[in-house]
Amino acid sequence: MLKINNLHASIEGKAILKGINLEVKPGEVHAIMGPNGSGKSTLASVIAGREEYEVTEGSVEFQGKDLLDMDPEERAREGVFLAFQYPIEIPGVSTTNFLKTALNEVRKHRGQDTLDAVSFLKLMKEKMKLVEIDQSLLSRSLNEGFSGGEKKRNEIFQMAMLDPSLSVLDETDSGLDIDALRIVANGVNMLKTPEKATIVVTHYQRLLDYIVPDFVHVLYQGRIVKTGGKELALQLEENGYDWIKEEVANA
Amino acid sequence: MSKDDQILEDFTKSEYKYGFESNIESESAPKGLSEDIVRFISEKKNEPEWLLEWRMKAYHHWLTLEEPNWPNVNYPKPNYQDIIYYSAPKKKKINSLDEVDPEILETFKKLGISLEEQKRLTGVAVDAVIDSVSIGTSFKEKLGELGIVFCSFSEAVQEHPELVKKYLGSVVPASDNYFAALNSAVFSDGSFCYIPKGVRCPMELSTYFRINAANTGQFERTLIIADDDSYVSYLEGCTAPMRDENQLHAAVVEIVAHDRAEVKYSTVQNWYPGDKNGKGGIYNFVTKRGICAGDDSKISWTQVETGSAVTWKYPSCILKGDRSIGEFYSVAVTNNYQQADTGTKMIHIGRDTKSRIVSKGVSAGRSQNSYRGLVEIMPRAHNARNFSQCDSLLMGDKCGAHTFPYIEVKNKSGRVEHEATTSKIGEDQIFYCNQRGIGEEEAVALIVNGYCKEVLNQLPMEFAVEAQKLLALTLEGSVG
């Protein structure tokens, strides 16, 4: 589904990603871990198409198409979803209105009819249950005055509504208490199908107790320096990142 | 190129949708302004002597005035001798829509306001003014049963001279300012509305203004009187064809609200703004003022201003009655080389009077957008309250947003609050929308609509939808 080959990216001339190779197949869950500043969020942003990052080398293929050649909205319509680490506030625009616009854009792209208000609300009610989100929250201005947990739940709710094939969760666990973490993770798990893939970017292991990865990659200094199964995450939790740094230094 | 630059770059691509010209035969006065022209207009309208005198007085006063220089706008001053002050479609109808020139009806269809449709479907009573003359007022009979008078101004002069004489110039005197004086001398038509005591007008009353003929100025006059315990919601829409030269629109609107009466006045102004290089466009120099003459009365102005090359407009409220309320909700969007200097005046005279001002400016391109407002609390206005919120949204780095709030408090019990913010559409916000599949143009429209929501919410439903579309249209091609 996603093939990243020798990806280099920089921001304002500073190289952040220095040759990432990663392949994600349908049905898989990949965790990207690593110390602060290793390039985890940059990777998520580059996949989503954030303009500030300049891709200097390499390629990214998504379902056989050149992802880097697409505008951010095209990538979204093709099925790439990014759950933001810091969801953005848009005053005066309700989540409902925002999502209706978004969903209809995505549906148009897929050759589906746009949804009328009734069918949209029906779909919304269905998906609201998944992340235990309250309707009153959805009629408020998007993310404005939301608590940290509400923002993250709202991200997963949007993911449920838009039904992407590849979801990238950028530090979705940051700022969440344990209950919110469980709700968010449940939502993600319930949306999992054999056709879909998830990339979980996280600093800590605890989210991976709930969203169990098939692969764990350690990103350090802009490269994936170690790949393993879910037990690698536990190892990192116990020993920190120092031993990895040493391994890299000695290599 | 950064995203902001692109917004700026592409904003200039958007085009004016209403720029067609209708092929309607019209009858015009010769160019220029003189006593003869004033007399010509008055004669054409078969006006009584007192009105001609009133016009003449205004004309002579106008000659002594100078065009104001204090607004924060720059434009070549019009040559007032080069304007046609009276232009009327030739085939004059009267009784029903069937007799209206089909070209005119076609014009309204293009504007999306088919009179017939409006009549049948929405129940909005429409008075349409092309160039200088009122074309047809629908629904008159139905309103007549309630004693409501809604007709063209010239008709009111003939049929309700006592009301016109009593109220004309009572809120905006002919000597008020340069453009009001000019209007008073040469106004050719407009709308008149009287709501009798205790009547709640069951439908929105609506006027559409359109300037069609070349070199023509439009000087319409609207007078709304709401008697005790009455209510009316009034809508006004405006468009004009694209022309290279600037055209002048200098209207006057007067509103009188008696005891416990409420008047809601909504405008969607979309005069031709000129092309992307700032050539052509309407000069919109308008005086709008209402007086809450009676106790517990209320006047609410809502305006969505997207058009005109230069706008100079301050819909105001004189809060004379005790406990009366004045409101002003405004969205002003400027793009390319448009300039707007707009705001309001709230004059608190009575006790326990309240006013609320919500102004949202959006500037893009090389436009200049100013809010100018006065809140004045007079010595007798005990416990007067005002709240003002003035927000500016900037797109790109070549436009300007300015705020000129004036506050004069002459009574110690008065309380005045003023809040102001200036923001830019964030790249973060646009990216967030993009990441959900929303293209950049639509993202900007969505964000701007959200920003203006508090004002748009004040508009009647069908008008709000139109205004939202208009905002999106104005922003069309704004990003790429």
Residues A119-129: pLDDT tens digits?
999 999 999 98
Which residue, among A12, A74, A85, A90, would best test binding to B if mutated, counting the most B CBs under 10 Å from its CB? A90
Contacts of A82 in chain B (CB under 8 A): 435
* Cross-chain CB nearest to B437 (options A73, A87, A90): A73
> What 3-state DSSP class applies to B398?
coil
Query: Pseudo-torsion of CA A67, A72, A74, A78, nearest 10°?
Result: 60
**Which residues of A fall below an 8 Å CB-CB distance to B?**
48-51, 71-73, 75-77, 81-82, 84, 87-93, 97-99, 101-103, 105-106, 109, 141, 158, 162
With beta carbons less than 8 A apart as the criterion, state whether B33 and B83 touch.
Answer: yes
For A150, the enclosing helix (H) or strand (E) is helix A148-162
Which residue, among B431, B440, B454, would best test binding to A if mutated, counting the most A CBs under 10 Å from its CB? B431
Contacts of A112 in chain B (CB under 8 A): none
Cα R_g (chain B), whole angstroms: 22
Q: For residues A197 and A24, what is the distance between their CA atoms, to the nearest angstrom?
A: 7
Structure tokens at B192: 């008149």
Contacts of A97 in chain B (CB under 8 A): 446
Contacts of A75 in chain B (CB under 8 A): 435
> End-to-end distance of chain B based on CA atoms, in angstroms?
11
For B342, the enclosing helix (H) or strand (E) is strand B339-348
Give me the residues paired with residue B241 across strands.
none
Q: For residues B190 and B208, what is the distance between their CA atoms, to the nearest angstrom?
A: 10
Contacts of B426 in chain A (CB under 8 A): 88
pLDDT of B283 reads 87
Contact A162 B435 (CB under 8 A): no
Ranges of chain B with pLDDT below 50: 1-5, 7-13, 91-95, 114, 116-124, 479-480
- From residue B415, give the alpha-carbon distance in Å to each of B328, B357, B373: 18, 14, 16
Percent helix, strand, coil in chain A, to 5, is 40, 30, 30
Distance from B435 to chain A by nearest Cα, in Å? 5
A-to-B residue pairs, Cβ atoms closer than 8 angstroms: 80
Which residue, among A81, A88, A106, would best test binding to B if mutated, counting the most B CBs under 10 Å from its CB? A88
pTM score of the predicted model? 0.81
pLDDT of B139 reads 67
Contact A90 B453 (CB under 8 A): no
Ranges of chain A with pLDDT below 70: none
**For B23-32, how does the pLDDT look when each residue is reduced to its tens digit (9 = 90+)?**
556 677 788 8
Contact A72 B450 (CB under 8 A): no
* Cross-chain CB nearest to A48 (options B3, B435, B450): B435
Query: Minimal Cα distance from B456: which residue of A?
Result: A92
With beta carbons less than 8 A apart as the criterion, state whether B266 and B297 touch.
Answer: no
Distance from A161 to chain B by nearest Cα, in Å? 10
Distance from B5 to chain A by nearest Cα, in Å? 13
pLDDT of B119 reads 47
Contact B432 A141 (CB under 8 A): no
- Other Cβ atoms closer than 10 A to A134: 11
Name the nearest CA neighbour of B135 among B100, B178, B95: B100
Contact B435 A81 (CB under 8 A): yes
Distance from A118 to chain B by nearest Cα, in Å? 19
- Report the amino acid identity of residue B164: V
Could you tell me if B1 lies within 8 Å of chain A, comparing CB atoms?
no
Residue with tokens 């404005």: A144
Strand order of the β-sheet with B325-334 is: B133-137, B125-130, B205-210, B231-239, B262-269, B298-305, B325-334, B354-363, B385-394, B415-424
pLDDT of B4 reads 46
pLDDT of B424 reads 84
Could you tell me if B114 lies within 8 Å of chain A, comparing CB atoms?
no
Residue with tokens 């001609």: B52
* Cross-chain CB nearest to B435 (options A82, A99, A141): A82
